[in-house]
Amino acid sequence: MPDPLRVVLMSYGAEGFADLHGPCVAAGHHPVAYVYAAPQRPGGQAASAAGAAIGSILAQLPPGPDLLLPRSLAGLARALAGVQPDLVVCNGFPWKLSAEVLRVPRLGVLNVHPSLLPRHRGPMPIHWAVRHGDAETGVTVHWMDESFDTGKILVQRGGIGLPGDLDGDSVFEQIQALSRELLPEALELAVRGCIGTVQGAEGASYEGMMGPQSAVIDWSASRHDVHNLVRTFRFGRFPVPGPLAVVNGRWVSVLKSRTEPGDGVRMECEDGPLWIVESVPVPARDAWLSAS
């Protein structure tokens, strides 16, 4: 049986680390450090959020691993070299890693990405899958290179449905469960020296963060586009609970819509009607937009 690996885990917060730590230990390996990306220019809300995240990580940090808080890629490379990892595993880590960082671990760096790569590379893959009307999503574990989510694939599995009447919490729970299931398989392949499969060009896409333009409904778009935008907001990361729109002469945040006739307020889109099933008043529209 191969010797246990010295593994460094890199993630966005306590929940992300937990999704990596358990499968890593279950596979017989030793997490020697956690890496959290502190903001490079802390201040105001960003610093407060980072402090809360660090506190949550420390509260749940198991005995043994250190918590590393690099402020730059050069600092990250030095910190990793100090713990001499065989492997680094990422889950939601926000930095694009440099060649210097990627060279430190003996075997390389793995990333757990919640999409069916090469589709939906980038920081919000589940949101964009819903926005584009995908029928399903999944999880990919791949080797990292110097670009975002383009490295060779070790394991991948779909089957997480994205139905019209979407439950965002349920989708995230399925993503977490599948990530935990696939990681031990990926670790075994990494130990065996598997280089993975090159990602194809067909269907490849990269999408960044959804900006302020996503916060307001454009009724000149197709009804399915508007419906999918409403569905996307169920995953959070937005300053309003749903996209903004003028409905019956007032600004509201649209929480739920439907493309088939039924209860709700009928609105006309570019290619036909859409029904607003649930919404809440938003009197401070300008404040919401400025926070997007």
- Domain boundaries defined on the chain: 6-191, 213-290
b (16+ CB within 10 A) / e for 195-212: ebeebeeeeeebbeebee
DSSP sequence for 151-166: SPEEEEEEEEE--SS-
Q: CA torsion, points 14, 20, 22, 25, in degrees to nearest 10?
A: -130
Architecture of domain 213-290: Roll (3.10)
pLDDT higher than threshold 90 for residue 239: no
> Beta-carbon neighbour count of residue 80 at 10 Å?
24
pLDDT tens digit sequence for 134-180: 999 999 999 999 999 999 999 999 999 999 888 889 999 999 999 99
Q: Looking at the predicted structure, is the pLDDT value of residue 233 above 90?
A: yes
- Tokens of residue 260, six digits: 């088939």
Superfamily of structural domain 6-191? Formyl transferase, N-terminal domain (3.40.50.170)
Residue 288: pLDDT band by 50, 70, 90 thresholds? low
Q: Are strands 66-68 and 87-91 parallel, antiparallel or unpaired?
A: unpaired
- Tell me what the mean pLDDT of segment 245-249 comes to: 89
